[in-house]
Amino acid sequence: MNAGLGLGVLYLVIGGFYAYSFYFGGYLKENGVMNGDKPYTGGVIIAIMFSIVFGSFGLGGAMPFLKSVQEARVGGRLAYNTIDHKPKIIINEPNTQIVTKETMKGLI
C-alpha cells in the first residue's frame, strides 16, 4: 500500500511538472520573451523540460550512494592520517637505542 501511494505521488509530481512546464513555456512563447537574440520555440521549451527531468532522475538515482561516498571520504582521511603520522621514535637516528632480547630486563 505504501509503495503504491509513493509511486502515485511520484507520478503526480512528474505530471504536475510537465503541466507547469507546458504552461510556462506557452507563456514565454505567447508573450515573445527572448532567449538571447531568438524567441523561445516549442522545441527549445521541450528540450529544457526534458533536460530538467532527466537531470533530476540522475540526481535522484545518485542519492542512495552519497552515504557510501561520505564513508569512503572518512576512511580515506583515516588512512592518510596514518600514512602522514610522524613516529616519536626514529630508528635511523644514530643515538637511538635498539632494544634486543638480551638487553631487555624487567617487566614489560
Chain centroid, CA 53 distance in Å: 18
State the pTM of this model.
0.50
**Digit-coded pLDDT (tens) for 17-61:** 888 888 888 888 888 888 788 888 888 888 888 888 888 888 888
Confidence check: pLDDT of 101 > 70: yes
Taking Cα atoms as reference points, which of 88, 96, 17 lies closest to residue 49? 17
Write down the domain spans for the chain: 2-84
Confidence check: pLDDT of 91 > 90: no
Confidence check: pLDDT of 10 > 90: no
Q: Which residue has the cell 515573445?
A: 32
